[in-house]
Amino acid sequence: MSSVILFNKPFNVLSQFTDKGLEGSARETLSNYIDVPEYYAAGRLDKDSEGLLVLTNNGRLQQQIANPKHKWPKTYVAQVEGSPRESELEELRKGIRLKDGITRPAEIELIGEPAGLWPRNPPVRFRKTVPDSWLMITITEGRNRQVRRMTAAIGFPTLRLIRYSVGDWTIDELDSGVWRYAE
């Protein structure tokens, strides 16, 4: 029987079960949190990003979620340095040129700080002289570090990035570092 695991990945955790990095490194991996055999991540989430990671034991579903040609929407909450204007957000809505080409149009809105947000360890750096803002961004592709590169391209570097949803699955009622089977 195939099923799906929803995991709220903490900051600084690799999106894989083993660390193939430096010999003797002690980086946290999915195996520090999930002890269920034969499940694999459907797509990736950088170690410095947090939030929803979908795992499945169904190879076909894994490929559908991860492959951009299927256009699964992925929604992120991004804390950015500065206060973008509507005209700057519109550039992202239309698609913006990055080094690897123009992005597909994104849905984006300026939001307040999300309620119930868990603390990040280590905390995001705080600068009294530079404001920060929160954006909700939905994309249908998954280029390497895409959301971070998009916000930087309009002059607002990402300070914290949390994937809120993949398709209809969300991290609602799922604390950081906790997983459950999808219903």
Catalytic residue among 46, 100, 168, 175: 46
- Alpha-carbon gap, residue 3 to 70, rounded angstroms: 19
Q: What is the DSSP string of 104-167?
A: PP-EEEEEPPPTTPPPPSSPPP--TTS-EEEEEEEES---TTHHHHHHHHTT--EEEEEEEEET
Assign 61 to helix, strand or coil: helix
- Under a CB-based contact definition with an 8 Å cutoff, are residues 140 and 71 in contact? yes
Separation in Å, CA 80 to CA 48, 52, 83, 88: 14, 19, 8, 13
In whole angstroms, give the CA distance from residue 39 to residue 120. Answer: 26
Let me know if 46 is a catalytic residue: yes
Asked if 44 and 155 count as a contact pair (C-beta separation under 8 A), the reply is no
Q: In whole angstroms, what is the distance from residue 104 CA to residue 126 CA? A: 32
Quick check: bond before 122 cis, omega within 30?
yes
Residue positions annotated with a catalytic role: 46
